Chains A and B, each alone.
Chain A
Amino acid sequence: MPDESWQPQIVAFVCQWCTYAGADLAGTSRMKYAPNVRIVKLPCSGRIDPLFLVKAFEQGADGVLVSGCHPGNCHYVSGNLLARRRFTVFRELLSFLGLERERLQFSWVSAAEAVKWTEVVDAVTEEIRRLGPRKLGWGETLPSRGSRFQVASSKVEPETRNPKPKTLQAAEESIRRIARQLLEANAVDVVVGYGNGTLSGVTTPVFVTQPDGVEQLVWNERCLNNLSVYLTRDLVKRMGRVGIVAKGCDAKALVALLQETQINRDQLTIIGVPCEGMMQNGRLAVKCVTCDVHTPPIYDHLVKVGVGIEILEIGESGEADPRDAEIAALEALTHQERWAYWQEQFSRCIRCYACRAVCPLCYCDTCIVEQTQPQWIPPAFDAKGNLSWNIVRALHLAGRCIGCDECTRACPANIRLDLINRKLALLISDEYGYRSGYDAGVAPPLTTFRPEDRAEFIR
């Protein structure tokens, strides 16, 4: 049982029109409620950044309450509806990372609902009081590292498929031919593709500017990496019109970049390559198991391959993702166990930002993590900073991540970023029927809303 004298410290982020005014009315009506909540006033619940909540927890809050106007009553038309989606995702993320759901509370309280405000504050305070102080602090790990909560990825062995050498050979020739034609016709200034690197087992990006250079281009079962990441780099942008060799998954990233106006479709020529899957560490890469874009969703030239490849409808995949079992196993743990698992994972983070560097959608020149005024994310690779960074990384990719798994591949500390990305992608697909990388014409899910979006957790 928690200590009787212990008082939970709760921060409430509220909008000024509804909840703040409702709290004022409670005061004017001399209603009494628990004194544990400190209000931070904002113009709208749509202004409440998940970073505020992360910072509050990092600082030591036992619980956080977010409250705004009822759906339909937003002073700013739709701020609360955007907030509803954002916090649905945020809440699921923190719960997946092991934070008790009770610590993160949401309510709609109108300017007239003084009674409701007092009830919400009392109920929230009581729930958090019953929970007691956080057992493990923000970023703290259990004394024994690598605990029994380890959900080892090695338990689930993806099947091994034999790549068909003839298919690959045919594709390679086709890529070179198309690249040569494009360069000779001066249709592109550079072709970005795969080349043989100095290390065996991996390919390296090559940037071909002369027709004769196309011989550098290769196509084999090791073309795992996502080259679209280079398209937003200044160096490549300055080279002019780009042709890019893209698998289905890479093309999804191109769709997402188009959606966010990061690349200009007129300046881009996509050499689409049908793909049967790529090898990673001698096995079929995990992302390829459930691939539903064997043929790229967008392309300008499609590489012809002799042997037929099964083309699936978008969204349809024959296999079960082995990671879903891992996610389910994690979710079956208690909050405390899950928290410990992730704290251990994040404790290995050395803040090298390889995950960011390799992500095609992390294109900001000035990342939030490098901003110092204010410094939302502690820069040092200590426990607190690592947790906050990883939360923010996941949030910034929520609804945008196209699942290329490059971050997980690049992570030198083997942090299971793919599990977090996939968890959020599944959530967004379930809740909002949206999957990133298929249609550049629709608004990303966290920039829009539907009036009927569900959010039963909001009081």
Chain B
Amino acid sequence: MARIGVFICHCGENIAGVVDVDAVTQAAARLPGVAHAEHYRYMCSDPGQKLLIEAIKDKHLTGVVVAACSPTMHEMTFRAAAVEGGLNPYLSEMSNIREQCSWVHEDKVAATVKATDLVRLMVEKVKRNHALQPITVPVTKRALVIGGGIAGIQTALDLANGGHEVILVEREPSIGGHMAQLSETFPTLDCSQCILTPRMVQVSRHPNITLLTYSEVEEISGYVGNFKVKIRRKPRYVIEDKCTNCGDCAVVCPQVVPNEFDGGLSWRRAIYIPFPQAVPAVYTLDEESCLGLHPLVCEKCFQACDAEAVDLDMKPEIVEADVGAIVVATGYDLFAAQQARELGWGKFPDVVTGLEFERLLSASGPTSGEVRRPSDGRVPKEVVFIQCVGSRDPEQGVPYCSKICCMYTAKHAMLYKHKVPDGQAYVFYMDIRAGGKGYEEFVNRAVEEDRVLYVRGRVSRIFQENGKLNVWGADTLTGQAVEIAADLVVLATAMVANTGHDVLAQQLRAIVDEHGFYQEAHPKLRPVETLTAGLYLAGAVQAPKDIPETVAQASAAASKVQALFSRDELEREPVVAHVDELTCEGCFDCEKVCPYGAIERKEIRDREGNLLRLVSSVNEGLCEGCGACVVACRNHSIELEGFADDQIYGEIVALWPTTVGLPELVDW
């Protein structure tokens, strides 16, 4: 006979302010099988948990229902408390009467009725719960880090220094990411490459890091602690170990194409190294620009290479690996500036994006750090910076704030003034958002020391006239129209989700938000984890971030992985399917729907060894507990622990009639 305990949490006023907890408790106490019901201010607090533990012992409870917040918050808390009280953890369930009731409903009577229903539903479920034992699985102490920007580099180094093997995968020929493209960084104005490249070199030299550049994740299967990954190495047609980085091949290459690293402001050959400090320091033959990989067509690079590093017959290669955890650090892209048509990017050569301007400022850039405009190479004397291009613009771009543009625009204006002291910099802004250590001071420095002119307003149009760019805008503080004849215009374009995020996210079974950024497990409390166990986030893949925040999150992800790797075995939820071999007819529809190949065919033989029939059998190590097989089975010979048919049946039947046990409260 079931003896269920029901505990209603007030959550301060969060629940009790809307739901009549006393009425719900009274109703719960009258439910068949309920041996104990009470309510308390904070069930998750220490005294709250003690109430539960004591009640289990005193009332000999066979199951508990805690009606409180979402199980995502505190399921583990109350399972642990149940264990302390002497119950199996899987005999504890939660009713979500906060996130899905008191916080979303204003009508107190309706909310109380709903809370009562939700409690009754869960009481019926928990009556049918079984004591389950967790399944233990070994942990592969090797991590996969996807993305070799500063986030991926930091995570990989932290993990490798912690003594764990790391596979770092980067789709471009070199690691470094966007940070390698930057000139100086706010708010300290230290050179970006100076602080980044030592770390890039560390990555390449670290004995615990396997660096796979020019590679992409092809396939991921498995689960936390036991992922299997396939990584496709694109052929770079240069043998990494043999290339001496001499550059003889590029000199003879007849094919010249725009250099992506410089935002197309310079040129490179078809065989190239993206930038001098690239890691690995080897050349890559870009097969799309190459005249043809057939030696009869060109093969000049092949002949020029004394080290015999050029291999025109190189084929894509699949690397397979077992890893225990995955960190996604695939970064961001920039909003396509041509979409803001009034600003003329793509039409006027002297309208550039912030990242292109970084290259113009950079000592390693196409102008060797001199600020010269792309159209005629003259030093611009009037430069207009426009913030929020695409950001905070639901019409043309994205609704969110890209967070870093205020800061880097201030930096751009300041650096410009340092290089061209007699020039004038204007910044069109909507608001200045400079939250961060030393950030506000930095913007003030741009205004006060470097005399950058900040104009609060938007730009409506840019057009070319007499070799100048006429910028028409408005100063909303004075209400005046503003017209500036500029030599150069710099657009602070929004940070958007990386291209290709959807394909990778699907493989990772991760959830992305409406803008394509990966969804964290909890916006405040679990910002580096995802809802997929063993999958973590680092950097701008989760949301727009600056470098310090990215590095902080990258280290956080690394420490999460290390915590996971500190154990030799993991306990998996025993939510797996089981087959009733007696009734299984062996149609193997379950086998067809199982995405994990967890269904095996088992032979049933008689004593003489004659095969009687084939039935399904579940490999618990592979089963992820989705339940697709259960629904495919017509005579219900498969059951999913934790979400068994009779549990769901109990929940459905419990919902009617709605007002069972509720004291005279409602009339609906």
Contacts and interface: CB of A to CB of B under 8 A. Distances in A.
A310 B365 CA distance: 79
Given A18-B511, A46-B627, A364 B635 contact: yes
B643 A374 contact: no
A79 B595 contact: yes
A42 interface: yes
A447 B649 CA distance: 24
A9 B596 CA distance: 37
Contact of A43 (B105, B575, B651): B575
Interface in B641-668: 642-643, 645-646, 648-653, 655-658, 667-668
Contacts of A49: 630-631, 645, 648
Contact of B104 (A30, A73, A86): A30
Contacts of A446: 632
Interface string B500-514: 001001100101111
Contacts of B624: 76
Contact of A38 (B532, B653, B655): B655
B634 A46 contact: no
A38 B118 contact: yes
Interface stretch (B95-103, B470-478, B489-497): B95-103
B544 to A, nearest CB: 16
A77 B507 CA distance: 8
A42 B648 contact: yes
Nearest to A13: B648
Contacts of A448: 592-593
A39 interface: yes
Given A363-B585, A368-B634, A447-B632, A76 B104 contact: no
B587 A396 contact: no
A24 B588 contact: no
Given A18-B511, A59-B656, A35 B110 contact: yes
Contact of A111 (B531, B593, B614, B646): B531
B514 A72 contact: no
Contacts of A73: 505-506, 511-512
A113 interface: yes
B628 A364 contact: no
Interface in B89-138: 96, 98-101, 103-107, 110-111, 113-114, 117-118, 121
A79 B628 contact: yes
B118 A47 contact: no
B588 A261 contact: yes
A26 B630 CA distance: 30
Contact of A82 (B117, B588, B593, B650): B593
Contact of A27 (B99, B506, B523, B636): B99
Contacts of B22: none
A122 to B, nearest CB: 11
Contacts of B339: none
A132 to B, nearest CB: 14
Contacts of A111: 511, 519, 531
B161 interface: no
Contacts of A18: 511
B444 interface: no
Indicate the member of B512, B593, B626, B646 with the most A CB atoms within 10 Å: B626
Contacts of B574: none
B33 interface: no
Contacts of A52: 648, 652
A75 B625 CA distance: 11
Contacts of B519: 110-112
B631 A55 contact: no
A74 interface: yes
Q: Is the interface of A mostly helix, strand, loop or mixed?
A: loop
Contacts of A262: 585-587
A314 interface: no
A36 to B, nearest CB: 8
B583 interface: yes
A154 interface: no
Interface in A418-457: 443-444, 446-448
B643 A366 contact: no
Interface residues of B, number: 72
By CB atoms of chain B within 10 A, which of A21, A30, A443 has the most?
A21
Contacts of B643: 42-43, 47
B388 interface: no
B635 A75 contact: no
Nearest to B628: A46
Contact of B98 (A17, A27, A75, A113): A27
A368 B635 CA distance: 5
A23 interface: yes
A79 B629 CA distance: 10
A262 B657 CA distance: 43
A18 B70 CA distance: 14
Contact of B100 (A11, A39, A371): A39
Interface in B556-578: 575
Nearest to B624: A76
A7 interface: yes
Nearest to B120: A38
A159 interface: no
B631 A46 contact: yes
A27 B103 contact: yes
A47 B104 contact: no
B636 A371 contact: yes
A121 B186 CA distance: 46
A43 B640 contact: yes
B255 interface: no
Contact of B72 (A9, A24, A443, A447): A24
A31 interface: yes
B546 interface: no
Given A46-B627, A47-B643, A75-B509, A396 B649 contact: no
A76 B636 contact: no
A44 B656 contact: no
Contacts of B54: none
Contacts of A82: 593, 628, 631-632
Interface in B16-48: none
A118 B104 contact: yes
B626 A32 contact: no
Contacts of A371: 635-636
Contacts of A17: 511, 531
A318 to B, nearest CB: 34
23 contacts: A21-B72, A24-B70, A24-B96, A24-B99, A24-B100, A27-B100, A35-B113, A38-B118, A40-B648, A44-B627, A47-B627, A47-B630, A47-B640, A52-B648, A69-B511, A76-B626, A79-B627, A112-B512, A112-B519, A260-B589, A374-B646, A374-B649, A448-B593
- Sorted from nearest, which 9 A-B pairs have the closest CB atoms? A27-B99, A47-B627, A76-B626, A374-B649, A447-B592, A112-B513, A77-B595, A46-B628, A35-B110
Interface of B: 70, 72, 96, 98-101, 103-107, 110-111, 113-114, 117-118, 121, 502, 505-506, 509, 511-514, 519, 523, 531-532, 575, 583, 585-589, 592-593, 595-596, 614, 624-628, 630-632, 634-637, 640, 642-643, 645-646, 648-653, 655-658, 667-668
Interface of A: 5-7, 9, 11, 17-18, 21, 23-24, 26-28, 30-33, 35, 38-40, 42-44, 46-49, 52, 55-56, 59-61, 69, 72-79, 82, 86, 110-113, 118, 260-262, 363-368, 371, 373-374, 376, 396, 443-444, 446-448
Given A49-B630, A396-B634, A444-B592, 13 more contacts: A24-B70, A24-B72, A32-B105, A38-B118, A43-B575, A46-B627, A49-B631, A52-B648, A111-B519, A261-B586, A364-B635, A374-B650, A447-B589
